[in-house]
Structure 1
């Protein structure tokens, strides 16, 4: 079988692991090939051209080859753009990376999700406070949709009945979208869920959902986090636990 070569592929480093004294294993998110594992030989050496380039949350152009489960990195260039996020924005970016690692299968391309991720990390580097929260909610919605686990947000999941714009509904992991009960802590009006569904169907879904999420964080965040937690197998996200530990300090 001929060696498969990929040239100048848009990509981001999601995670990196030590492979030897001088090399790294990279888990990267690429636009046309999805998540790919690469070995970066010699990347830890001070003289390596890979060393200053293979950073998380930075737009890259990668070239790699091979047909095995782990391919070989041949070239890497910074594609330009925003500076490295810092502080809370850096932690938020790592949170997005962990979601992709948990929920995306290897070699499963999601070009629209890649574009949304690129927009999200660029905005995280420039926005603050509630604006950053809207970025996270927008990406969470698109990720859940892309992985096929987000129900339609303009109808009750069990009955497919259209939502009453004035009534309250909640999104639950095992039941989808349903009417809000008295013991439910958070819910959104039917009109708000319908607006989110319309935004997801927009030609530019990331920016549309970003605007739709702008004033919904308090009620939307716990519902999306519960759904993500469920589909991540119930295991706590490392970045989420780190944030809680920092808040406790």
Structure 2
């Protein structure tokens, strides 16, 4: 809800926070109704601040803020509750999702459906038995990657070859290429069958796209899951303009210890 330049009780998540002064923070925030915005939280680092225990990543919040400058002023923040912060590898996966949003979303551009998908993936990552849900968490990450790429216009239709617009043959193998979209695979390519790509497109078009896409990916065999993961990683790195995302490299470094 907005009144003039004051916005009240907007659902949001903190994506990242930076030191602004000895006592204050700059926040990158993903809101449901206004997209990605920047806020200054004055005095948030003081031990007595009401902001201090609330402004954490991967936590559902209701925010009040105001101003018409590029960086608005945070006026209030309330934890909605529902789940605790993910830990361990689940936390790193959540920070990876945050990095994708920071790199691919423009500021002040609303993405309400994507916000709901983000809330869904955070809920999966915060599950009580995270270790036992590794496959579900991986499927949730792939689902969100697909939905994010589609939301920002970087994912081609998955039920036709991109260059020719010809239909996919269910039994043939196809690969997703950064500059050419979906095309028939060569022997060495990581690929999915036409039927698998078509099922993914149908799931993305569902009225509950995150849940439907997660379930679709969970039905893929190990080889197809690995192929989808590698293709999406290449595509995301390409559009983010990096060889490896920072959080991915952090995961690798920790796994190597």
Fold match, TM over 0.5?
yes
Matches of 1:141 and 1:237 in 2, distance apart? 17
Unaligned 5+ segments in structure 1 are none
Paired residue secondary structure (1:129): helix
Q: Which runs of 5+ in 2 are unaligned?
A: none
Note the aligned Cα RMSD (angstroms).
Answer: 1.1
Corresponding residue of 1:182: 187
SS class of match (2:207): coil
1:131, 1:64 → 2: CA distance? 35
Residues 1:149 and 2:154 aligned together: yes
Q: Is 1:44 paired with 2:45?
A: yes
Question: Hey, what does 2:228 align to over in structure 1?
Answer: 220
8 Å Cα contact 1:167/1:189 also seen in 2? yes
User: Take 1:54 and 1:240, find their aligned partners in 2: how far apart are those partners?
Assistant: 24
Is 1:137 paired with 2:142?
Answer: yes
In 2, Cα distance between the equivalents of 1:22 and 1:199?
46
Please list the CA deviations of residues 115-166 of structure 1 after superposition, one character each: whole Å capped at 9, or x if unmatched. Answer: 0000110111114211110010000000000000100000000000000000
- 2: CA distance, partners of 1:85 / 1:247: 18
Q: Please list the CA deviations of residues 41-86 of structure 1 after superposition, one character each: whole Å capped at 9, or x if unmatched.
A: 0000000000000010000000000000000000000011111101
Q: Which residue of 2 aligns with 1:98?
A: 99
TM-score of the superposed pair, with normalisation by structure 2 = 0.94
SS at match of 1:213: helix
Q: Which of 205, 221, 226 does residue 209 from structure 2 map onto? A: 205
- Report deviation, 1:231: 0.4
Rounded to whole Å, the distance in 2 between the matches of 1:234 and 1:98 is 12
Aligned residue for 1:244? 252
Q: Aligned pair 1:231/2:239, yes or no? A: yes
Give the superposition deviation at 1:96: 0.3
User: 2: CA distance between counterparts of 1:96 and 1:79?
Assistant: 20
Task: Determine if contact 1:3/1:66 at 8 Å carries over to the other structure.
Answer: no
d(CA) in 2 for partners of 1:141, 1:129: 19
Aligned twin of 1:194? 198
Residue in 1 that maps onto 2:57: 56
In structure 2, distance between residues paired with 1:223 and 1:84: 29
Number of residues of Structure 1 aligned to a counterpart in Structure 2: 247
- Runs of 4+ in structure 1 over 2 Å off: none
- Give the secondary structure class of the aligned counterpart of 1:21: coil
